[in-house]
C-alpha cells in the first residue's frame, strides 16, 4: 500500500525481499546501501542475531528522486529466511507494494527455493494479496557459483508466469540494481494505473 | 482482495489539522516529540524536538514493534495491545493505536509522567480519530469521482530517469 502525501509531495512505497535462508537478501540491501550516495539513503537497520542471521527484518530507506514533482521514497525490507520465523515474515508483508524473490541458484537449495515461494504465496493470501497481481520480480542469486541449477530449470519451477527475472551475484553487486529497478518500475506503473486509491 | 493496491493519501488540509492536534498534545503533555506513523511503517508527520532524531528509522521500528506485539496479542486471544510503553533512564516512549490504523508515538522525559501522557493521549486520540475518518471519506470520494490520477501521466522516461 503506497502512501501518497500531497502535503509534502512524496510517494512512499514498500518493497520486500523474500526468499529462503542464506539466499542473500540482506547482502542485496548491504550492496545497495554501500553504492548509494549519502543524501539518497537513510540508516540501514538490521535486526539480526549474534551470528548475523536476520531475526526480524532489515530496513533501508531510499530516496530515488522526483517524478512529476513528487519525491519518490522506497522502503526496502528483507524478511528472515529461516523456516521457523514464519510469524515474523507475515508481519513484514503487511502493506507491501512490490516483492523481490531472491532465489539461491545452488542445486542443493532448489527445494528450499520452492518451499519459500509457496510460503510467500500463502502468506500474501493471508493478508489479502494475490502474488499474480502484485509487482513481482525474481532474482537468481549466486549465479557465479559452480554448482548452480540450470537456469531453464529454475525458471520453469519458480517463474511459471514469466515475471521479470535476473541473474545476480549480490556479493559483487551484479544484478542487484537491475532487480530493484525492475520492481520499482512495476510499482510506479501500478500507481499510474491505479490512481490515488485503486 | 481488499488490501490489493489500496493507497493511503494525505492532503494539506488534514495534515494541518493533525499537526494542530499534535502541537496541542505536545504542549499539554509536556512531552518532547510526537509522531504519527502508518501501520506499515511510513512516517506521516512529527512535531517537537525532531532535529537530531532519525524519524524514518523510528517510524519503521515502531511499526515493527506494533506488528510484533499485535502478533503476540493474537496468540493469546487478544485483538491487539493498544498501548505500549518503554521506559528508559532519561527518555520514555509511549505508543498507542489511533483510529485502528495509525500509530501515535510520544517521547517524553522527567518533565512529564506516564499518567499525564496517558491522559492527554486519550483525549487527543479522539481528535485524531475524527480527522482520519474525514480523510478516509475524502479519499473515497476522490476515488469515486473518477478524476484522473495525478500519476496517470507518468511516462517510462520519467521512471528511467529516476535510475540514471
Q: Which residues from A are below 8 Å from B139, CB to CB?
A: 196-197
pLDDT value for B5: 43
Chain B residues closer than 8 Å to A65 by CB? 161-162
| pLDDT reading at B164 higher than 80 | no
The pLDDT value recorded for residue B87 is 97
Q: Give the minimum alpha-carbon distance from B123 to chain A in angstroms, rounded to a whole number.
A: 25
What confidence score (pLDDT) does residue B139 get?
86
The reply to whether B64 falls in a domain is yes
By residue range, what is the domain housing residue A50?
A: 3-194
Domain assignment present for B99: yes
Hey, are the CB atoms on A43 and B150 less than 8 Å from each other? no
Number of domains in chain A: 1
Contact criterion met (CB < 8 Å) for A68 and B5: no
Per-residue pLDDT for B163 more than 80? no
| Residue A109, domain CATH | 3.40.50.300
3 state DSSP class of A96: coil
A45–B56 C-beta distance less than 8 A: no
Tell me, what's the pLDDT at B148? 67
Average pLDDT of the residues of chain B: 90
State whether residue B17 sits within 8 Å of chain A by CB.
no
Q: What's the CA gap between A168 and A182, in Å, rounded? A: 13
Q: Which of B4, B12, B38 sits opposite A129 (nearest CB)?
A: B4
Number of A:B CB contacts under 8 A? 163
Answer yes or no: is pLDDT of A197 > 60. Answer: no
What does the angle CA A186 – CA A192 – CA B135 come to, to the nearest 5 degrees? 115
Chain A residues in contact with B162 (beta carbon < 8 A)? 64-65, 67, 72, 184
Q: How many CB atoms lie within 10 A of CB A70?
A: 18
Cell numbers 551484479 label which residue?
A174
Report if residue B22 sits inside a domain: no
pLDDT for B32-85, tens place per residue?
A: 999 999 998 999 999 999 998 999 999 999 999 999 999 999 999 999 998 999
Please state, rounded to an integer, the average pLDDT across all residues of chain A: 94
The 10s digit of each residue's pLDDT in A132-168 is 999 999 999 999 999 999 999 999 999 999 999 999 9
Residue B77 lies in a domain: yes
Residue A116 to residues A103, A106, A148, B134, B141: CA-CA distances in angstroms? 9, 15, 18, 41, 40
Q: Which among B60, B15, B2 has a CA at the least distance from the CA of A62?
A: B60
Residue B44: inside a domain: yes
Residue B150 sits at the chain A interface (C-beta within 8 Å): yes
- Is the confidence at residue B118, as pLDDT, over 90? yes
B90 located within any domain: yes
pLDDT of B92 above 90: yes
Model confidence at B160, pLDDT cuts 50, 70, 90, reads: confident
Residue from A61, A73, A93 to probe the interface with B (highest B Cβ count within 10 Å)? A61
Q: How far apart are CA A114 and CA A116, in angstroms?
A: 5
Residue B59 lies in a domain: yes
For residue A121, the model assigns a pLDDT of 98
Interface check B38 vs A, CB under 8 A: yes
> pLDDT at position B18, please?
97
Interface touch B149/A188, C-beta < 8 Å: no
Q: In the predicted model, is pLDDT for residue A193 greater than 60?
A: yes
Per-residue pLDDT band at A196 (split at 50, 70, 90): very low
pLDDT value of residue B4:
43
CATH (domain of B103): 3.30.450.30
Tally of domains within chain B: 1
ipTM over 0.95: no
Domain range for B67? 30-112
pLDDT tens profile A13-60? 999 999 999 999 999 999 999 999 999 999 999 999 989 999 999 999
CB-based contact, B152 to chain A, within 8 Å: yes
Select the residue of B7, B56, B70 nearest A198 (Cβ to Cβ). Answer: B7
Q: Where residue B156 falls among pLDDT bands split at 50, 70, 90?
A: confident
B67 occurs within a structural domain: yes
CA B146 – CA B142 distance, rounded (Å): 7
Mean pLDDT of all residues in A87-115: 96
Over pLDDT 90: what percentage of chain A? 88
The pLDDT of residue A169: 98
A52-72 mean pLDDT: 92
Amino acid at each position: 500500500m503506497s502512501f501518497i502525501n500531497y502535503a509534502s509531495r512524496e510517494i512512499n512505497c514498500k518493497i520486500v525481499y523474500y526468499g529462503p535462508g542464506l539466499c542473500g537478501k540482506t547482502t542485496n540491501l548491504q550492496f545497495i546501501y554501500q553504492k548509494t550516495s549519502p543524501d539518497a539513503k537513510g540508516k540501514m537497520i538490521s535486526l539480526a542475531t549474534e551470528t548475523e542471521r536476520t531475526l526480524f527484518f532489515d530496513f533501508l530507506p531510499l530516496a530515488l528522486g522526483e517524478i512529476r514533482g513528487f519525491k519518490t521514497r522506497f522502503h526496502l525490507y528483507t524478511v528472515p529466511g529461516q523456516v521457523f520465523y514464519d510469524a515474523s515474515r507475515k508481519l513484514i508483508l503487511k502493506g507491501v507494494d512490490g516483492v523481490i524473490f531472491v532465489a539461491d541458484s545452488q542445486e542443493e537449495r532448489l527445494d528450499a527455493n520452492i518451499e519459500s515461494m509457496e510460503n510467500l504465496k500463502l502468506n500474501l493470501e493471508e493478508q489479502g494479496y494475490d502474488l499474480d497481481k502484485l509487482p513481482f520480480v525474481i532474482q537468481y542469486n549466486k549465479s557465479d557459483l559452480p554448482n548452480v541449477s540450470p537456469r531453464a530449470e529454475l525458471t520453469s519451477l519458480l517463474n511459471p508466469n514469466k515475471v521479470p527475472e535476473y541473474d545476480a551475484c549480490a556479493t559483487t553487486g551484479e544484478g542487484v540494481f537491475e532487480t530493484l529497478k525492475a520492481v520499482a518500475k512495476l510499482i510506479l506503473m501500478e500507481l499510474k494505473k491505479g490512481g490515488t486509491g485503486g | 482482495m481488499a488490501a490489493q493496491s489500496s493507497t493511503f493519501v494525505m492532503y494539506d488540509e488534514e495534515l494541518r489539522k493533525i499537526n494542530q492536534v499534535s502541537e496541542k498534545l505536545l504542549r499539554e503533555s509536556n512531552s518532547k516529540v510526537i509522531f504519527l506513523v502508518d501501520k506499515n511503517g511510513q512516517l506521516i508527520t512529527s512535531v517537537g524536538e525532531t532535529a537530531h532524531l532519525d524519524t524514518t528509522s523510528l517510524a519503521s521500528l515502531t511499526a515493527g514493534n506494533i506488528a510484533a506485539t499485535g502478533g503476540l496479542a493474537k496468540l493469546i486471544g487478544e485483538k491487539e495491545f493498544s498501548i505500549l510503553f518503554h521506559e528508559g533512564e532519561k527518555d520514555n516512549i509511549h505508543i498507542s493505536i489511533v483510529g485502528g490504523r495509525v500509530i501515535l508515538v510520544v517521547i517524553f522525559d522527567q518533565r512529564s509522567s506516564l499518567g499525564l501522557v496517558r491522559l492527554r493521549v486519550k483525549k487527543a486520540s479522539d481528535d485524531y480519530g475524527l480527522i482520519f475518518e474525514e480523510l478516509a471519506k475524502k479519499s473515497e470520494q476522490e476515488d469515486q469521482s473518477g478524476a484522473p490520477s495525478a500519476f496517470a501521466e507518468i511516462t517510462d522516461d520519467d521512471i528511467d530517469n529516476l535510475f540514471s
